[in-house]
A and B are shown apart, each in its own frame.
Chain A
Amino acid sequence: MQSPKVALRARKDEATEARLATLTLPETGGWLDGLRADALSRVRAMALPGPRDEYWKWTRPETLISPEVTPAALFHDDEPPMFDEVDRLKIVFTAGKFDAEASDDFALEGLTIERLAEAGATDLHWARDLYGTLETNGQTPVERPLAALNTAFATDGVLIRVTGKVSKPVSLIYRRESEASEAILHHVVKVEQGGEMTLLENGPAAARFNKVLEVEVADEATFHHVRTQARDHERRAVTHIFARLGRESVFKSFTVTMNGVLTRNDCVIELTGDDAVAHVAGAALGDGDFHHDDTVFVTHDAVNCESRQVFKKVLRNGAVGVFQGKILVKEGAQKTDGYQISQSLLLDDDSQFLAKPELEIYADDVACSHGSTSGAIDETALFYLRSRGVPTDQATNLLTLAFLAEALDEIDSEELSGLILARLEGWLERRRG
Chain B
Amino acid sequence: MLEIKNLHVKLEEEDKQILKGVNLTVEAGKVHAIMGPNGSGKSTLSYVLSGRDGYEVTEGSATLEGEDLLEAEPEERAAAGLFLAFQYPVEIPGVGNMTFLRTALNAQRKARGEDEISATDFLKLVREKAKTLKIDAEMLKRPVNVGFSGGEKKRNEILQMAVLEPKMCILDETDSGLDVDAMKLVSDGVNALRDEGRGFLVITHYQRLLDHIKPDVVHIMANGRIIKTGGPELALEVEKNGYADILAEEA
Binding site for B on A (CB under 8 A): 378-381, 383-392, 394-395, 398-399, 401-406
- Check: B37 CB closer than 8 A to any chain A CB: no
Given contacts A386-B73, A389-B104, A392-B73, contact A380 B78 (CB under 8 A): no
Given contacts A379-B53, A402-B93, contact A392 B75 (CB under 8 A): yes
A-B contact count (CB 8 A): 83
Contact of A384 among B53, B90, B105 (CB under 8 A): B90
Beta-carbon contact of A402 and B160 below 8 Å: no
Q: Which residues of A contact B107 (CB under 8 A)?
A: 388-391, 394
CA distance A405 to B146 in the complex (A): 15
Report A16 CB to chain B, min CB distance, Å: 45
- Check: B162 CB closer than 8 A to any chain A CB: no
Beta-carbon contact of B90 and A389 below 8 Å: no
Beta-carbon contact of A380 and B90 below 8 Å: yes
Q: Which residues of A contact B91 (CB under 8 A)?
A: 381
- Check: B103 CB closer than 8 A to any chain A CB: yes
Report A402 CB to chain B, min CB distance, Å: 3
CA distance A402 to B83 in the complex (A): 24
Of all chain B residues, the one with the shortest Cβ separation from A408 is B94
Of all chain A residues, the one with the shortest Cβ separation from B89 is A384
Q: Is the interface of A mostly helix, strand, loop or mixed?
A: helix
Q: Which residues of B contact A385 (CB under 8 A)?
A: 92, 100, 103-104
Of all chain B residues, the one with the shortest Cβ separation from A404 is B94
Report A381 CB to chain B, min CB distance, Å: 5
9 A-B Cβ contacts within 8 A? A383-B52, A386-B74, A388-B83, A388-B100, A389-B104, A389-B111, A395-B75, A402-B92, A406-B94
Q: Which residues of A contact B75 (CB under 8 A)?
A: 386-387, 389-392, 395
Binding site for A on B (CB under 8 A): 50-53, 73-75, 77-79, 83-84, 86, 89-95, 99-100, 103-105, 107-108, 111, 143, 160, 164
Beta-carbon contact of B90 and A405 below 8 Å: no
Of all chain A residues, the one with the shortest Cβ separation from B81 is A389
CA distance A392 to B78 in the complex (A): 13
Q: Which residues of A contact B160 (CB under 8 A)?
A: 388
Contact of B74 among A380, A383, A402 (CB under 8 A): A383
Which of B77, B90, B91 has the largest count of A CB atoms less than 10 A from its CB?
B90
Q: Which residues of A contact B78 (CB under 8 A)?
A: 386-389
Beta-carbon contact of A384 and B108 below 8 Å: no
Report A104 CB to chain B, min CB distance, Å: 36
Report B144 CB to chain A, min CB distance, Å: 8
Report A145 CB to chain B, min CB distance, Å: 39
Contact of B95 among A379, A386, A391, A402 (CB under 8 A): A402
CA distance A395 to B95 in the complex (A): 11
Beta-carbon contact of A387 and B95 below 8 Å: no
Beta-carbon contact of A388 and B164 below 8 Å: yes
Of all chain B residues, the one with the shortest Cβ separation from A400 is B94
Contact of A387 among B50, B93, B103, B105 (CB under 8 A): B50
Of all chain A residues, the one with the shortest Cβ separation from B99 is A398
Closest 9 A/B residue pairs (Cβ): A402-B94, A389-B78, A389-B108, A388-B104, A384-B90, A386-B74, A405-B94, A402-B95, A386-B75
Beta-carbon contact of A389 and B79 below 8 Å: yes
Q: Which residues of B contact A404 (CB under 8 A)?
A: 94
Q: Which residues of B contact A378 (CB under 8 A)?
A: 92
Of all chain B residues, the one with the shortest Cβ separation from A398 is B95
CA distance A126 to B165 in the complex (A): 67
Beta-carbon contact of B92 and A387 below 8 Å: no
Of all chain A residues, the one with the shortest Cβ separation from B74 is A386
CA distance A390 to B102 in the complex (A): 10
Q: Which residues of B contact A395 (CB under 8 A)?
A: 75
Report B200 CB to chain A, min CB distance, Å: 17
CA distance A271 to B89 in the complex (A): 44
Q: Which residues of A contact B164 (CB under 8 A)?
A: 388-389
Beta-carbon contact of B103 and A390 below 8 Å: yes
CA distance A385 to B89 in the complex (A): 11
Given contacts A389-B104, A391-B75, contact A384 B51 (CB under 8 A): no
CA distance A333 to B50 in the complex (A): 56
Report B20 CB to chain A, min CB distance, Å: 25
CA distance A402 to B146 in the complex (A): 13
Q: Which residues of B contact A405 (CB under 8 A)?
A: 93-94
Q: Which residues of A contact B105 (CB under 8 A)?
A: 389
Which of B79, B94, B103 has the largest count of A CB atoms less than 10 A from its CB?
B94
CA distance A404 to B75 in the complex (A): 24
Report A392 CB to chain B, min CB distance, Å: 7
CA distance A392 to B52 in the complex (A): 13
Q: Which residues of B contact A402 (CB under 8 A)?
A: 92-95, 143
Q: Which residues of A contact B92 (CB under 8 A)?
A: 378, 381, 384-385, 399, 402
